[in-house]
Amino acid sequence: MQAANRVVMNTGLLYGKMLVTIFISLYSTRLVLSALGALDYGIFNLIAGVIAMLSFLNMAMTLSTQRYMSYNLGGGDMERLKKVFNASILLHLLLGLGLVLLFEVAGYFLFGHVLNIPPDRVPAARVIYHFMVASAFVTIISVPYDATINARENMLLVALTGIAEALLKLVVALALQRASADRLILFSGLTAATAIALLLFKRVYCSVKYPESRIKIGRYKDKALLKEMFSYGGWNMFGAVSVVTRNQGIAMVLNVFFGTIVNAAYGIANQVNAQLSFFSVTLMQALNPQIMKSEGQGNRERMLKLAMIASKFSFALLAFFAIPLLLETPFVLGLWLKEVPAYTIVFCRLILLCTMVNQLSVGIQVGVQSVGKIRKYQVAVSSLLMLNLPVAYLLLRMGLPAWSVLASALGIEIVTCAYRVKAAEKLIGLPVKTFLGGVVLRAAGSVLLAFCIALLPCRMMDEGWARLIATGAASTAGLACTLHWLGLSAYETGKIRDVLTKALTRIHPRLAVIKKAA
């Protein structure tokens, strides 16, 4: 129960952070969109694809380094842990220098031949691009420290830095309202400065707090380990690049055919998806170290059980918020934004559905990462994801509407999810029948029933606050009931009850008695 309590505590900290930051971030976006306008906001989202690219690469490399650190923490090998950290420092230093050079060279080609930006805004767009690349190097070399924080399960620090970042972005958004200079350039510069400051703080904190995160490359040099981590991280980066190719490739294809206004809609839809995904991402951030440590301890059975539980609960958590939004997208976006760009509503719905499909196998993805045999797996998954780009181009060349690109992305995501499950059967011994019956059918069935329940207020009431509240209440109650009676196994129900009882006991002993009586 000690590990379970740690997961609950860490998840609670991260959810607390999320509840604070999600509203700040959404309000900041409204202020920024109002200050910049749809055109400049679309340009920023197009150029800021560099940061989106780095975030995916950063996530891939963080997961790679975290895998080695969590694995060795699980095995109790502290000396090797120091070697892992120092090898990762050297690896990311080289990677950062290489990517910065690559981005700067690619910039000349992008602005000269690819991006469709109004001529009078090209100079500002170039400045934005350089700001994004300037922060890239710091972002990349900070990966070992992010991995250390996650492997050590220090979610309090993650929560505090997340809140600080949201508040700084709000300050930036407020500053834009009164700025007399070019607001687009000012926004990109302040955004980059915020990211750099926070990442430097993480580096200093880890160096002081954790002995293994002190740089001593000469003392802990291990060429074999560096080669192994380079290979593992390289294949993870290949997988991350495929995600970037899909996301930013779609953005560029839409830009070529429809211009920057559609990029504004695509950027807003991705931000809505990112905010809602925080709930499931938060759960995985708390569970990832436990899944990897279980494999490091040689406990494959526990690793598989945690991976399947993670997939089910991650999907269900996203569904709690996705169902009301899918049904009430026009009203919610109208409340949030003063003006809703064309295509934003349908983009939001399709991108959210893609993410929900992905969440059904998210725990399995971590399980495969923990074992480490990922070359063939990453090649196959990446190839499937990168199909989105040629398919998107062909669909738009045929004269189909912009949303058809994301509809095809949803179909490709379903195929990719099916492959992940089949590959996991060979790589980690995933019991496919158990996964399909215990995770996919139970979770998807529960969500589908809850969606039908939430649909009733939408059919019976006029659009407005009353219907939004009724839809949210019906969705929450419906999903809670369907998960209890259909979605959760007896084992999972028992574990949740035990963890809740333990958590309530820590708050007040009498609450635990009430819980048991209920």
The enclosing H or E element of 318 equals helix 300-336
Say whether pLDDT at 511 is over 70: no
Write down how long the chain is: 518
pLDDT of 453 > 90? The answer is yes
Mean pLDDT of the chain: 81
Structure confidence by residue, pLDDT tens digits, 125-146? 888 888 877 777 777 777 888 8
Give tens-digit pLDDT for 148-173: 887 787 878 888 888 888 888 888 88
- Asked whether the beta carbons of 14 and 155 are under 8 A apart, the reply is yes
> For position 478, what pLDDT does the model report?
92
Q: What are phi and psi of 214, to 5 degrees?
A: -95, 135
Confidence of residue 513 (pLDDT cuts 50, 70, 90): very low
Rg over alpha carbons for the chain, rounded to the nearest Å, is: 23
Range 420-434 average pLDDT: 92
Q: Which of 326, 328, 322 is nearest to 461 (CA)?
A: 328
Report pLDDT for 339: 79
pLDDT at 238: 77
pLDDT of amino acid 214: 77
Q: What is the mean pLDDT of residues 111-120?
A: 75
pLDDT beyond 70 at 501: no
Q: Tell me the per-residue pLDDT of 18-29, one tens digit each, with 9 for 90 and over.
A: 777 777 877 887
Residue 428's CB: how many other CB atoms inside 10 A? Answer: 19
Paired tokens of 372: 């480490």
Boundaries of every domain in the chain: 2-430
